[in-house]
A and B are shown apart, each in its own frame.
Chain A
Amino acid sequence: MSNLAHDTIDTAMAQGGQECLTFTLGEEEYGIDILKVQEIRGYDAVTRIANTPAFIKGVINLRGVIVPIVDMRIKFNLGKVEYNEFTVVIILNVAGRVVGMVVDGVSDVITLAPDQVRAAPELSSSLDTKYIMGLGTVEGRMIILIDIETLMSSRDLELVDSVS
């Protein structure tokens, strides 16, 4: 069986598949381009910034670099918002910036072949469909593929100056 699984991954890669890091927010599973991920770390003391939306938790010191932390659970109203030793922060490197993102949990690294990805239907949700690159299917699970770069540099997240 494991051989078979390897084969499918290999063929997926050969077909120009995309490697994704998947994480969970509540019951939902999301995938982002693994090349945008810098590292995964635990959640520690965050310095709050006044007058910012609740989902911007504040900034941390990541080896001397000031990095803002966004809590996706608050932003998309998913999962239980609590901070403990199991809380995971994905540090992303998008649009020349380093940004941390709090999620419920990191599950897997998978390779999705183009034929495993379907376009997302038009629907109304707090996550604008323009940020959804597609819906992937792996072993019966649906993975929502997000264009994390666009999402993180969007005005919705208030991480960049609105002037630009």
Chain B
Amino acid sequence: MSIDMSQFYQVFFDEAAEHLAAMETLLLAIDLQAPDPDDLNAVFRAAHSIKGGAGTFGFTDITEVTHILETLLDRIRKNELALRSEMVDAFLQAGDVLKSQLEFHRDGTPVDEAAVASICATLHQLSGDAPQEATPAASAPVAHAVGTPDAQGHRYQIEFRKLGKVKLTPLLDELARHGTVTMSDEKKNGSVSVVFDSTIGEDELWEMLEFVVSRKQVSVTQTAAEPADVADDDGFGFFDDAPGVPAADEGFGLFVSEEQLKADREADDGFGFFADAPGSEQLGKAVEPTPASAASAPPPRPSPAPAANAEASSIRVNVEKVDQLINLVGELVITQAMLAQTTAQADPVLYENLINSVSQLERNTRDLQEAAMSIRMLPISFVFSRFPRVVRDVAGKLGKQVELRTIGEGTEIDKGLIEKISDPLTHLVRNSLDHGIESPEKRIAAGKDPKGTLTLKASHQGGNIVIEVSDDGGGLSRERILSKARERGLAVSDQMPDQEVWQLIFAPGFSTAEVVTDVSGRGVGMDVVKRNIESIGGRVELSSVPGSSTTVTIRLPLTLAILDGMSVAVQNEVFIIPLGYIVESLQPAKADVKTVAGEGRVVSVRGEYLPLLALHSILNIEPRTRAPHEGILVIIESDGVKAALFVDDLVGQHQVVIKSLETNFRKVPGIAAATIMGDGRVALILDVTALARMARANDLSTVSA
């Protein structure tokens, strides 16, 4: 019977990714001068958990790297080595290598073997230049363990009976290749007893035995391996009770035998509780085996406990299930709206109870919807947490000193948005580091703190999530942007307001960087950032104070699934315009509407001439009225282009659940999606960006085609 292990792989990948992330966070926060032993232990635990999991699934490449990593960490943890910044670098690199190895196992993306080898070598070297107290006994098992990293020692008592003519020597030689064979004395009746210490499993052992002897002739009993005299089986490197190595290195209470635990209590430093104590005192504690101290020492390690708690307080659920739940709740909201509409017509005197119940239902459904939506919400720290690393790496590469501040990491945002926001944010952060924050010399010359500050801030504002990326760098140079724009042949003037000048940065291929660096400056970027953010219904704004700061503000809708919309009517058909695009609605005076070349109509709104798009002609509907002054103009703005959309009536403002048209149909020009109204009918959501583009191209045929 074979169990499909792959079903557990995903769990391992998820967990390993979490451990890696935790490791990275801890490493970045670590204080080189006085590393917190708890943190070191936590890093060690994370590495160890990955190794354990990888070993279980047979991902030996991962176990190898984690093992070396663990060895080094262990020595630091035990204060045998002092933590240095290159070690942290190496650990971070090892984390990256592990990440790529995980990806390899998950998706098959190839691993850079050279990187793996180089990081292993670096880690080896770092753990190798150890102080003298490291005895050969301690390093020997480590060296061996690299070859068989996932090995776990077993001791077998093998008894051969009634061997007759069977020759044992070849078998014993074979066994010796897999472990240590100790012959006990040969007994009279021809039976031989052998003690075999090895890393191989019992099944494997049986296979080897049965090659030579039959099952009847041999009996195998597994006894606990005795670490002290089994140097070979030290796969984990921390079972080594070899003399000279403090017994207290058991970071893992989980694997500690009773005996070792006792040793632990006697030499307590493994727990880090006395790490602050000077060495002499530590020693004093260690040689003080009074019952009191043994009792006061926490029995198993306390640290795994929080991890267990965290597991209990959250469950892993397939996103599809959550989406299904949200969809169902959406349906419920619609049904509730239908019910409310019907009861609204009922006689309030006769149906008082019914009406009360329905209004209660409304409250409950709204709460339920909020609760269901919140399942998809994750704190933005999921995105922010990657930036300490980015900042560290990029700042290091550029020779700048940068401090990263994050504010409002707890702000919750839809999971779908999290995935889509992280790339644009990374880009903005790199941009700030490269172009925004100046080099320490320049900063000192400008009378600023040589260390720049990059701030990431998230907050809720109304129905939006606002994310700000700000730096206290040199700010944007108005002149430079304008001259660059002229160079590129863009229509600009010196009188342009700042806001419009900054918008130029978002033009494709626009870069004012004097030097194209590895980090940025190639001019691809800001336009992509803007496009990505707009594609998820967000907006980007930029503000800058020359010489002191630049702030990029991203406004995002709370979720991708619900949209605030204004419903408008043309004849009896209802359409939804996303509220975010609407500037204002107005009823024009007859004189405000003019024609250009007898055809194109424009409307003057407070001195600005806007193209007039009649929704009825775009969508081929017979309208109630063709005269703009009898209907309503909705002024829309997208990509900085304004247009006036002519509709018959405004119906109202609602929150609508977005339903894709493309699930069962295809993309329709001018239509972004669909939704279901309170009466159960489908209403179409207009694609304002496309409509505005039409206005710009002044070519209605693009949509009617």
> Interface on A for B, CB 8 Å cutoff?
45, 47-52, 58-61, 63-68, 97-99, 158-162
**A residues less than 8 Å from B328 (CB atoms):** 64
Tell me whether B331 and A66 are in contact (CB under 8 A). Answer: no
Tell me whether A50 and B618 are in contact (CB under 8 A). Answer: yes
Tell me whether B676 and A61 are in contact (CB under 8 A). Answer: yes
CA distance A98 to B282 in the complex (A): 73
Q: Which one of A64, A99, A158, A160 contacts B334 once the chains associate, using CB atoms below 8 Å?
A: A64
Tell me whether A48 and B663 are in contact (CB under 8 A). Answer: no
**B residues less than 8 Å from A61 (CB atoms):** 676, 680-682
Q: Mark B608-639, 1 if CB is under 8 A from A, else 0.
A: 00000000001111000000000000000000
Q: Which residue of A lies closest to B570 (CB)?
A: A50
Q: List 6 A-B contacts (CB under 8 A).
A: A51-B668, A59-B665, A65-B663, A65-B664, A66-B676, A158-B666
Tell me whether A49 and B664 are in contact (CB under 8 A). Answer: no
Which chain B residues (660-705) contact chain A, with CB distance < 8 Å? 660-671, 674, 676, 680-684, 703-705
**A residues less than 8 Å from B681 (CB atoms):** 45, 47, 61
**Extra contacts besides A48-B573, A49-B668, A51-B670 (7): CB < 8 Å:** A47-B683, A51-B619, A61-B682, A64-B328, A66-B663, A66-B674, A68-B665
Max chain B C-beta neighbours (<10 A), residue from A65, A67, A161? A65
**A residues less than 8 Å from B49 (CB atoms):** none
B contact residues, total (Cβ < 8 Å): 33
**A residues less than 8 Å from B659 (CB atoms):** 64-66
Closest CB of chain A to B527's CB: distance in Å?
24
Tell me whether B667 and A50 are in contact (CB under 8 A). Answer: no
Tell me whether A50 and B619 are in contact (CB under 8 A). Answer: yes
Q: Which one of B664, B666, B682, B705 contacts A47 once the chains associate, using CB atoms below 8 Å?
A: B682
Closest CB of chain B to A101's CB: distance in Å?
12
Q: Which one of B330, B573, B680, B704 contacts A51 once the chains associate, using CB atoms below 8 Å?
A: B704
**B residues less than 8 Å from A159 (CB atoms):** 665-666
Q: Which residue of A lies closest to B667 (CB)?
A: A161
Tell me whether B331 and A63 are in contact (CB under 8 A). Answer: yes
**B residues less than 8 Å from A68 (CB atoms):** 664-665
**B532 CB–A CB distance under 8 Å:** no
Q: Mark B94-115, 1 if CB is under 8 A from A, else 0.
A: 0000000000000000000000
**A residues less than 8 Å from B667 (CB atoms):** 161
Tell me whether A64 and B327 are in contact (CB under 8 A). Answer: yes
Given contact pairs A51-B704, A61-B676, A98-B664, A66 touches B670 in the complex (Cβ within 8 A): no
CA distance A162 to B665 in the complex (A): 11
Q: Which residue of A lies closest to B669 (CB)?
A: A51
Q: Which residue of A lies closest to B680 (CB)?
A: A61
CA distance A72 to B127 in the complex (A): 76
Our count of residue pairs bridging A and B at CB distance below 8 angstroms stands at 73
Q: Which residue of B lies closest to A50 (CB)?
A: B619
Among all A-B residue pairs, the 8 with the closest Cβ atoms: A50-B619, A47-B682, A68-B665, A161-B666, A64-B331, A97-B664, A66-B674, A61-B676
Q: Which residue of B lies closest to A162 (CB)?
A: B666
Q: Which residue of A lies closest to B620 (CB)?
A: A50
**B residues less than 8 Å from A158 (CB atoms):** 666
CA distance A47 to B569 in the complex (A): 13
Tell me whether A66 and B665 are in contact (CB under 8 A). Answer: yes
Q: Which one of A52, A66, A161 contacts B664 once the chains associate, using CB atoms below 8 Å?
A: A66
CA distance A78 to B516 in the complex (A): 67
Closest CB of chain A to B627's CB: distance in Å?
21
CA distance A51 to B670 in the complex (A): 10
CA distance A65 to B620 in the complex (A): 25
Tell me whether B703 and A51 are in contact (CB under 8 A). Answer: yes
Q: Which one of B618, B621, B682, B704 contacts A66 once the chains associate, using CB atoms below 8 Å?
A: B682
Q: Which residue of A lies closest to B677 (CB)?
A: A61
Which chain B residues (639-658) contact chain A, with CB distance < 8 Å? none
Max chain A C-beta neighbours (<10 A), residue from B660, B661, B681? B681
Q: Which one of A51, A52, A60 contacts B682 once the chains associate, using CB atoms below 8 Å?
A: A60
Tell me whether B684 and A47 are in contact (CB under 8 A). Answer: yes
CA distance A97 to B670 in the complex (A): 22
CA distance A50 to B623 in the complex (A): 13
Which chain B residues (199-218) contact chain A, with CB distance < 8 Å? none
Q: Which residue of A lies closest to B704 (CB)?
A: A51
Tell me whether B665 and A50 are in contact (CB under 8 A). Answer: no
CA distance A12 to B660 in the complex (A): 42
Closest CB of chain B to A39's CB: distance in Å?
14
**B residues less than 8 Å from A58 (CB atoms):** 682
CA distance A80 to B95 in the complex (A): 70
Closest CB of chain A to B658's CB: distance in Å?
10
Tell me whether A49 and B666 are in contact (CB under 8 A). Answer: no
Closest CB of chain A to B264's CB: distance in Å?
59
Tell me whether A49 and B663 are in contact (CB under 8 A). Answer: no
**B residues less than 8 Å from A48 (CB atoms):** 573
Tell me whether B670 and A50 are in contact (CB under 8 A). Answer: yes
CA distance A60 to B676 in the complex (A): 9
Given contact pairs A49-B668, A49-B671, A51-B668, A97 touches B663 in the complex (Cβ within 8 A): yes
**B residues less than 8 Å from A50 (CB atoms):** 618-621, 668, 670-671
CA distance A161 to B665 in the complex (A): 8
**B residues less than 8 Å from A66 (CB atoms):** 659-661, 663-665, 674, 676, 682
Closest CB of chain B to A126's CB: distance in Å?
22
CA distance A65 to B662 in the complex (A): 11
**A residues less than 8 Å from B671 (CB atoms):** 49-50
**B residues less than 8 Å from A99 (CB atoms):** 664
CA distance A49 to B671 in the complex (A): 9
CA distance A87 to B703 in the complex (A): 32
CA distance A97 to B705 in the complex (A): 25
CA distance A63 to B332 in the complex (A): 10
Max chain B C-beta neighbours (<10 A), residue from A45, A51, A161? A51
CA distance A22 to B596 in the complex (A): 57
CA distance A48 to B680 in the complex (A): 15
Closest CB of chain A to B218's CB: distance in Å?
58
Closest CB of chain A to B678's CB: distance in Å?
11
Q: Mark B56-88, 1 if CB is under 8 A from A, else 0.
A: 000000000000000000000000000000000
CA distance A59 to B681 in the complex (A): 9
Tell me whether A51 and B674 are in contact (CB under 8 A). Answer: no
Tell me whether B666 and A160 are in contact (CB under 8 A). Answer: yes
Closest CB of chain A to B324's CB: distance in Å?
11
Given contact pairs A66-B664, A68-B665, A99-B664, A49 touches B327 in the complex (Cβ within 8 A): no
CA distance A114 to B579 in the complex (A): 58
Closest CB of chain A to B263's CB: distance in Å?
63
**B residues less than 8 Å from A52 (CB atoms):** 668
Closest CB of chain B to A153's CB: distance in Å?
11
**A residues less than 8 Å from B705 (CB atoms):** 51
Which chain B residues (15-64) contact chain A, with CB distance < 8 Å? none
Tell me whether B620 and A49 are in contact (CB under 8 A). Answer: no
Q: Which one of B669, B674, B703 contacts A59 once the chains associate, using CB atoms below 8 Å?
A: B674
CA distance A50 to B571 in the complex (A): 14
CA distance A50 to B327 in the complex (A): 27
CA distance A26 to B674 in the complex (A): 33
**B residues less than 8 Å from A49 (CB atoms):** 668, 671, 684
